[in-house]
A and B are shown apart, each in its own frame.
Chain A
């Protein structure tokens, strides 16, 4: 089942007579029940993309289908009804500052005409779900960032949406709070079966909870697929940059230069084997470990390492050949400066 389908989406903005293309011919399919990540550098167009899904931004060209309905064919009234079936949370939480927590959650129900008493009951249930029911009478200014985002999530869920859009929802939070909010989003996805679309510039958010990911660069969709596939073997420059941060960039494997660096990713089976020790014992060539990290990707432990190879081109080729034989992913990296 398909929750969201984006077909040839193009969006231009006219700013003081200039036309700026924010999105260029983006096509995407998001399956029901997925946690789908959209990642890109700031200004890549990902915020525009997420706002197209609920038509806060109307496409210049192309179509958006939500649950099979072409949003472009809806009247204003029908569109508003559709929007109440698509929850959305934001980087800055966007809570109503003059209403308390309970009334904030009631707000989305008030809009779709739910009776006050019923709305209150539902709001309390949701506050319980996001574990913040003790703050029902507090005002947003009395809450921490993580608590505010929990309230925003409760508010977004109050109308029983099929889809939850998260626009940089953890970007204003510290790492610990980010983890707890992501945990909550995952729980909601599993418990309620809601399709989640996460917009972020942090690769860690994607690797933590997303099943699939789309990489947006300069308004274009450059790569899409399962998170582990892209983590193991990034094909686009943008994906590589996002994986390693912008200080280091990848280069094609063909070039043989002195002091090469490679990035290797261990698959689940090879994570238990002493691959590196075996390699060094076999070839009798030293390698230098520059960085090593283990990440949890879709519930599986995945190892990532950056190795510095010796200057001898023949030895480099030997090492790469041996590593590839064991079935792990090898990509070449080099520092920009």
Chain B
């Protein structure tokens, strides 16, 4: 393996991390409030609102039912409008976020649903407002489960970012497709796969360790 290939791989790692982290962060900026809104407006939420819940629920389900590869192509005009081009790693973040946000919203909603109803009732009895309950009770009590959700989502987006390689998305997936599939250079493809596995393992291990460490429920 020559120096050129190594540099290409290093660049690929950088692009992959950029896409994954970028889409996770922006995804949470959109998905976290969306998830909170889903929980709050839900049937057993703090302020049930059937109409709002049904609208959000519908949007989430529609986007989540479109396969990522199709979403990637469907969103090309939108991506071009937003980023100016439809290829490269920055452009890939757009479909990744669109795909991740509803998924994150669901994960957040389910984490919040798991918070003990008794604790919420206690907070209400103390005179807490809904906003205080969300920020001081729900998000704090659910932090372990939220962090687990974050880890799983990051892993998922790592995989999707690699998938975007098929349409020139950049990163390790792009390299694997270009060299491994189009040029029959199996060696490079195997290396990229191993690198992806290593990155995935690091994300998974760090995330799980962190969520365990921050959990005060069992010691």
Residues of A whose CB lies within 8 Å of any CB of B are 54, 56, 80-84, 86, 88, 90, 92, 94-100, 107-108, 110-112, 139-142, 152, 155-156, 159, 165
Instruction: Find out whether the CB atom of B140 lies under 8 angstroms from the CB atom of A56.
Output: no
Residue of B nearest to A110 (CB): B136
Contacts of B124 in A (CB 8 A): 56, 83
Please measure, in the bound complex, the distance between the C-alpha atom of A152 and the C-alpha atom of B125, giving whole angstroms.
12
Segment from B10-18, B127-135, B157-165 that makes contact with A: B127-135
Q: Is B216 an interface residue (CB 8 A)?
A: yes
Q: Name 30 A/B residue pairs within 8 A (Cβ), A-sorted.
A: A54-B125, A56-B125, A80-B128, A83-B124, A84-B126, A86-B125, A88-B122, A88-B125, A88-B126, A94-B118, A94-B122, A96-B119, A96-B137, A96-B140, A97-B116, A98-B143, A98-B144, A98-B216, A100-B216, A107-B126, A107-B136, A111-B123, A111-B126, A111-B132, A112-B127, A139-B216, A141-B218, A141-B219, A155-B126, A159-B127
Most buried by A among B123, B126, B136: B126
Q: With A and B bound together, what is the CA distance between A141 and B216 in angstroms?
A: 7
Chain B residues with CB under 8 Å of chain A are 116, 118-119, 121-129, 132, 136-137, 140-141, 143-144, 215-219
Top 9 nearest A-B pairs by Cβ distance? A84-B127, A94-B122, A83-B127, A80-B127, A88-B125, A94-B118, A139-B216, A108-B126, A111-B128
A276-B42 Cα distance, complex, nearest whole Å? 65
Query: Taking each of A54, A56, A88, A96, which has the highest tally of chain B beta carbons within 10 Å of its own beta carbon?
Result: A96
Q: Once bound together, how far apart are the Cα atoms of A302 and B25, in whole Å?
A: 69
Interface centre among A98, A152, A155 (most CB of B within 10 A): A98
When chains A and B are docked, how far (Å) is the Cα of A86 from the Cα of B118?
17
Given contacts A97-B217, A98-B215, A159-B127, 15 further A-B contacts (CB under 8 A): A83-B126, A83-B127, A88-B126, A92-B118, A95-B122, A97-B216, A98-B140, A98-B143, A100-B216, A111-B123, A111-B126, A139-B216, A140-B216, A142-B219, A156-B126
- The residue of chain A having its C-beta at the shortest distance from the C-beta of B129 within the complex is A80
Q: What is the bound-complex CA distance between A88 and B118, given in angstroms?
A: 12
What separation, in Å, do the CA atoms of A155 and B128 have in the docked complex? 13
B127 and A111 within 8 A (CB): yes
Known: A83-B127, A92-B118. A97 touches B141 (CB 8 A): yes
Q: How far is the CA of A140 from the CA of B116 in the complex (A)?
A: 14
Alpha-carbon gap, A79 to B140, bound state (A): 25
Q: Which residue in A56, A111, A155 is a CB contact (below 8 Å) of B136?
A: A111
Contact A139 B219 (CB under 8 A): yes
Q: What chain A residues lie within 8 Å of B216 (beta carbons)? A: 97-100, 139-141
Are A94 and B119 in touch, CB under 8 angstroms?
A: yes
Residue of A nearest to B142 (CB): A98
Instruction: Give CA–CA (A139, B118) in the complex, Å.
Output: 18
Chain B: CB-nearest residue to A88: B125
**A141, B215: Cα distance in complex, Å:** 11
Contacts of B217 in A (CB 8 A): 97-98, 139, 141
- Give the CA-CA distance A83 to B136 in the complex, in Å: 18
Closest to B117 in A: A94
Q: What is the minimal beta-carbon distance from B79 to any residue of chain A, in angstroms?
A: 40
In-complex Cβ contact of B141 among A86, A96, A159 (8 A): A96
Nearest Cβ in chain A — how far from B103, in angstroms? 25
Residues from chain B with Cβ under 8 Å of A90 in the complex: 118, 121-122
Per the bound structure, the CA–CA distance linking A142 and B218 in Å amounts to 8
- A80 to B127: give the CA distance in the assembly, Å: 4
Residue among B116, B216, B218 with the most chain A CB within 10 A? B216
Q: How far is the CA of A81 from the CA of B122 in the complex (A)?
A: 15
Closest to A77 in B: B129
